[in-house]
Amino acid sequence: MRNFDFAPLYRSAIGFDRLAQLFDDAQRTENAPSYPPYNIELIAEDKYAITMAVAGFDRSEIDIETERDTLKIVGRRQKAEGTRNFLHRGIASRDFEHRFRLADHVKVVSARLDNGLLNIELVREIPEAHKPRRILIDGDNLQLVESQNQAQNQLQRQVA
């Protein structure tokens, strides 16, 4: 495994320390368990989906929660009553926990369990305060420019 030096990034960029932390975390979790298998899909520009194969798990055995920039999915099997005598056991039934780092302003929209597949839909919603705005030099017309930007954004939403 190769370690990277992020010092040049810190000299020329501000606020990218979180990106460097993500790279460090990715290097540490390179050998993370892959059970249960899952897909991460880009649906549209700001829409994502996670599909996780959770065959044998009931809705009541799966917990999904978000906290700040982390999505956590936990599967805990309820103990089966009695003992079962398997001749072949090919369907895994072990507990799992997966954590996904979410980018700024990414939210979970919905989650559903269909035919053994857990489908989680996510969307990035950038607040108006974080969208680009035009600033005039001398600042006298700042309110006018902000009003024009808001009107343009509303018009673009109506057209879309």
pLDDT in tens, 21-54: 666 666 665 566 678 999 999 999 889 999 999 9
Q: Give tens-digit pLDDT for 45-81.
A: 889 999 999 988 999 999 999 998 899 999 998 876 6
Q: Give tens-digit pLDDT for 115-150.
A: 999 999 999 988 888 778 888 787 665 555 556 666
Distance between CA atoms of residues 146 and 139, nearest Å: 11
Per-residue CA distances from 122 to 46, 66, 78, 110 (Å): 8, 11, 28, 7
Report for 15-24, 80-89, 146-155: range of highest mean pLDDT: 80-89
pLDDT score at 117: 96
Q: Report if pTM > 0.75.
A: no
From 148, 34, 2, select the one nearest 98 (Cα to Cα). Answer: 34
Per-residue CA distances from 51 to 97, 116, 152 (Å): 15, 10, 36
Task: Kindly state the helix (H) or strand (E) to which residue 88 belongs, with its residue range.
Answer: none
Give percent helix, percent strand, percent coil of the chain, each to the nearest 5: 25, 30, 45
Distance between CA atoms of residues 109 and 48, nearest Å: 10
Burial of 48 (0-12, 13-18, 19+ CB in 10 A): buried
